[in-house]
Structure 1
Amino acid sequence: MGKKVHLGLIYGGKSGEHDVSLQTAFAVMGELDYAKYEITPFYITRLGEWRVGPVLGGKPSAIDELKLVPAVGAQVPAPPAIPLAPLLDRLAASSGASTGSGQPIDVVFPLLHGPFGEDGTIQGLLDIADIPYVGAGVLASAAGMDKITMKKIFAYEGLPQCVFRYFNRAQWEKDASFFIMECEVALGYPCFVKPSNLGSSVGISKAKNREELIAAIDFAFRYDRRVIIEEFVDAREIEVSVLGNEDPKVSVPGEIAPSNEFYDYKAKYVDGKSTIHIPANIPNKTAEAVRDMALRAFLAIDGAGLSRVDFFLRKNDGQLFINEVNTMPGFTPISMYPLMWKESGLPYRDLLDKLIELALKRYADKQTIDYGGSGGN
């Protein structure tokens, strides 16, 4: 057998989606082939401290173990927080630094959701350190995380989407009455209020009147300095999974029937009662339109590796609207991304292998780029 690929898994993080990241990491660690990979865990605490664990010999038995804190009464101390410079030395493949196995990290899988992970920040850090990693680069990650920027890109590409309005905290505090009036005229009630730069339905509210709108906006500002408000569409929620780099493929579509009034955080990750239909029961023509629009959206933001693309299918006339691109979708047991690929003929473990292969291929392709230029100083 050849040398194992040394895979660094980064998870946790400072965002409100810390617990979601732990669920994703737990699921991924349980499905990776330990005959192919040796795995070093990199846990980021809620305070942003980095801890590095020993090379894993197999799947953790509980999510709490991912925090790299010994059980109560254990004599072994928790791994200390690591400053950034030594951390990069331990991560960087070019440094030859060891994490305990004698082999440097070959590729990183950043299993982070939300700000400080899914938004391009960790991707920029890994780019600077010249480390291969799974998933989208800085541009696609940032655009995919920020709903306002994403929707502007969709508009430029001519992709149909719901009517929306947006503003920042300073604008709201200066002239709240104007924005209330604009939302009521352009969107009406009910409408959805969301932080611009967050995922997993954190901070999202459905407002049915002016009082609820104001409360929802105040709530959304807890999570970001900009807020986006979208019209309500009585629609079915259709999703597809995208996999690839320059020549991506798209899975069969799936459909979510939320357990709550809309597909919020609880419906996604807590109660497990939302109904999933894979493949979605939609006409072939609609399925092809979903797949085509997903490809256009993925390429428009310069996606790489993986993305889940979400749509609304309006019930009264079958009109399709793109909702968002998620560049680091969850890998929990009830997550749509791996389930749709499983239905498309690509099992979970093979999907992880493919993502790691795509990461290494993208890194190799980037090595052909002349970043300095022949005529530079």
Structure 2
Amino acid sequence: MTPADSRSADRTLPEVDASRSMVALLGAAGSTDLVVTEAARVPQTLGSVDVVFPLLHGPRGEDGTLQGMLEMAGVRYVGSGVLASAVGMDKAYMKIVLEAAGLPVTPGITVTRRDWATDQLSVIERIEALDYPSFAKPARGGSSIGISKIHDRGEIAEAIELALQYDAKVLVEVAVVGGREVECGVLATSDGDPETSRPAEVRTGADHEFYDFEAKYLADRDTEIDLPADLPPEVEQELRRPAVRAFDALSCEGLARVDFFVLPDQSLIINELNTMPGFTPTSMFPQMWAESGVSYP
């Protein structure tokens, strides 16, 4: 796939061509060779792997699966290990870990496929107890796929069933009304101490109730970025401290992006932590670090 192949066009997103040749690690003891295999052809070695930069999102990419494979193959890689990647991907467990570390998170509940199949009324009552509006999302998803905003009881069933299409576990959280979406990059230095970037704010247009898939990725999105975020200096400094605490709480390594809600009274809530943030030149993580003096290269 070339850089041009990875751009969206006419609201159509790129896909990996499954008909192309397979590439795999050799699997021999002590080897980090990449081998191309094609039908009716002798396998060819591309070369050895020095280090893997796993710029993959979602299941199998940032949930610890790939990281575990690389650990077993003895291949070095960038970013968090198996545990932090798995917890970072599972937003329900992430909230448990962050809350145990004394960090503020949004109130929410977890709904499993079994819960929904056996006692929908109980699930609906638990969601109503959270108050409206709320959000239902796949617990182990990403890129805002499968997320719905719930405004009343009549929207609950559709929201849960949509999220269950993508995961067997759904996280339902109270909407943070009036909260500004502010993100902060974390980067571990050579001695292991994490540093933080200048934060940035995401503002979606009137056509989007929240920062959904279209607002994030499609070419005609009307999303605006304030870089750096328009925050009082003391609020910015206060935000950067829990970003590091969240990074440490999940045992992250290398890099992460921590997403916050800044409330009207300037208090903070952690929305989530992303162990492998978007890394295109227009993604938030590299832009925040460029603003902080670390260029994209």
The residue correspondences of 1:1-377 to structure 2 (distance < 5 A) are 60-63=3-6, 67=16, 79-82=20-23, 87-89=24-26, 94-95=30-31, 97=33, 103-185=47-129, 187-234=130-177, 235-244=179-188, 246-259=192-205, 260-270=208-218, 271-315=220-264, 317-349=265-297
TM-score w.r.t. length of structure 2: 0.87
Q: Which moved more, 1:169-178 or 1:92-101?
A: 92-101
> Deviations along 1:315-354, whole A, 9 cap, x unmatched?
2x222100100011112343111110010011111xxxxx
SS at match of 2:137: strand
Counterpart Cα distance in 2 of 1:164 and 1:209: 16
Counterpart Cα distance in 2 of 1:182 and 1:96: 50
Deviation of 1:88 after TM superposition, in Å, equals 2.2
Counterpart Cα distance in 2 of 1:98 and 1:192: 42
Deviation of 1:94 after TM superposition, in Å, equals 3.2
Amino acid at match of 2:196: V
| Count of aligned pairs between the two proteins | 277
Counterpart Cα distance in 1 of 2:292 and 2:163: 36
Change (3 A) 1:309 1:63: same
Change (3 A) 1:283 1:98: closer
Amino acid at match of 2:143: S
Amino acid at match of 2:202: I
Counterpart Cα distance in 2 of 1:96 and 1:322: 38
Long gaps (5+) in structure 1? 1-21, 27-59, 70-77, 350-377
Change (3 A) 1:98 1:163: closer
Change (3 A) 1:216 1:104: same
Counterpart Cα distance in 2 of 1:191 and 1:61: 38
> Deviations along 1:293-332, whole A, 9 cap, x unmatched?
01000011110111110000112x2221001000111123
Change (3 A) 1:262 1:79: closer
Contact 1:309 1:324 in 2 (8 A): yes
Counterpart Cα distance in 2 of 1:213 and 1:102: 51
Change (3 A) 1:254 1:88: same
Contact 1:136 1:305 in 2 (8 A): yes
Identity of aligned residues (%): 46
> Deviations along 1:25-72, whole A, 9 cap, x unmatched?
x6xxxxxxxxxxxxxxxxxxxxxxxxxxxxxxxxx4433899478xxx
> Deviations along 1:98-124, whole A, 9 cap, x unmatched?
667874111111111001111000000
Change (3 A) 1:256 1:61: closer
Contact 2:135 2:148 in 1 (8 A): yes
Long gaps (5+) in structure 2? 8-13, 36-43
Amino acid at match of 1:158: G
Counterpart Cα distance in 2 of 1:158 and 1:330: 27
* Runs of 4+ off more than 6 Å: none
Counterpart Cα distance in 1 of 2:122 and 2:49: 53
Deviation of 1:256 after TM superposition, in Å, equals 0.4
Q: Which moved more, 1:328-337 or 1:97-106?
A: 97-106
Contact 2:26 2:34 in 1 (8 A): no
SS at match of 2:48: coil
In the alignment, which residue of structure 2 is the partner of 1:13?
none
Counterpart Cα distance in 2 of 1:96 and 1:286: 46
Deviation of 1:290 after TM superposition, in Å, equals 1.1
Q: Would you tell me which structure has more helix in proportion to its own residues?
A: 1
Counterpart Cα distance in 2 of 1:115 and 1:194: 15
Contact 1:189 1:208 in 2 (8 A): yes
Q: CA RMSD in A?
A: 2.2
